[in-house]
Amino acid sequence: MGELPNRIEQKAEAVRAALAAAVRTQGRVVYANSLGAEAMVLTDIIWTHVPQIEIFSIDTGRLHQETYDLIEKLQWRYRRTLRLVHPHAEALERLTAERGVNGFYHSLEARLSCCEVRKVEPFKRAIAGYDAWVTGVRREQSAARALAQPLEWDTQYGLYKVSPLLEWSEAQIWQYIRERKLPYNVLHDRQFPSIGCAPCTRAIQPGESHRAGRWWWEQSESRECGLHPRARPAAAEA
């Protein structure tokens, strides 16, 4: 793969160092791979340089076909299997029986119930037993994410949280992806800067914020899935 320009190589080296330090100091580290653009950078660095970190993605059952295609591309490129964590079947049956298959459109409560069953519970199950989890959040993504720290105690989940891409700009993420010729979700080429479940994500219009296409029918302050904080986090939290 191509050499990285100096500035990006320095940033990538800092990420490699932060992840290696997390393994050394924290113990068992797991990466919750969102399959977004930042995830392509972290997957490349982890599977190439810090393979002690295990990676999983949550398959909510409502992802875009393009996201499933991306999972296959990643597995081909790195000749690794990406662990997919699914919701519990019984909980899903209960959810759709009580709220309907598209209940998330009808109320914030129903939407949060869906995210709880399809994302948050599988996430908690996937990180159980680990000492730290890695996330690809960047400061410029939202007001809440601007407050995150590179390494902090995650009071919500009871383990450390490592965020090595906090200072990366979106342009730097894409520069890394292009220079390394990494696979990425083709929806990014169709004005989907942030990609989640298919029914809850849409393309954004020029001038809209990057997260405007997520749960667009809700007030902006409610637009998180529960894995990351919406308001100012406690001192030691993400």
Q: Per DSSP, what are the bridge partners of residue 137?
A: none
- Closest residue to ligand SF4, judged by C-beta, is 197
Residues 131 to 160 in contact with ligand SF4, rule: CB under 6 A: none
- State how far the Cα of 211 lies from the Cα of 33, in Å rounded to an integer: 18
CB of 225 to ligand SF4, least distance (A): 6
* 41 CB-contact burial (10 Å; exposed 0-12 / middle 13-18 / buried 19+): buried
Whether 225 sits among the annotated catalytic residues: the reply is yes
CB of 111 to ligand SF4, least distance (A): 5
Which range in 2-10, 33-41, 109-117, 184-192 contacts ligand SF4 by CB under 6 A?
A: 109-117
Q: Does 126 bind ligand SF4 (CB under 6 A)?
A: no
Q: Does 185 bind ligand SF4 (CB under 6 A)?
A: no
Strand pairing category for 83-85 and 54-58: parallel
Q: Per DSSP, what are the bridge partners of residue 157?
A: none
In angstroms, the Cα distances linking 172 to 32, 125, 131 are: 21, 32, 29
Q: At what angle do helices 37-49 and 65-78 cross, to 10 degrees?
A: 20
Q: Which of 122, 196, 229, 233 binds ligand SF4 (CB under 6 A)?
A: 196
Instruction: List CB contacts of 173: < 8 A, sequence separation 6 or more.
Output: 37, 38, 40, 41, 138, 165
Catalytic residue (choose from 114, 115, 200, 225): 225
Nearer to ligand SF4, 70 or 200 (CB): 200
Residues 56 to 75 in contact with ligand SF4, rule: CB under 6 A: 60, 62
Reference 201, options 87, 85, 67, 77; nearest CA is 67
CB of 108 to ligand SF4, least distance (A): 10
Q: Which of 39, 197, 204, 227 binds ligand SF4 (CB under 6 A)?
A: 197
Catalytic residue positions? 225
Residue ranges that bind ligand SF4, judged by CB under 6 A: 60, 62, 104, 111, 114-115, 118-119, 196-197, 199-200, 225
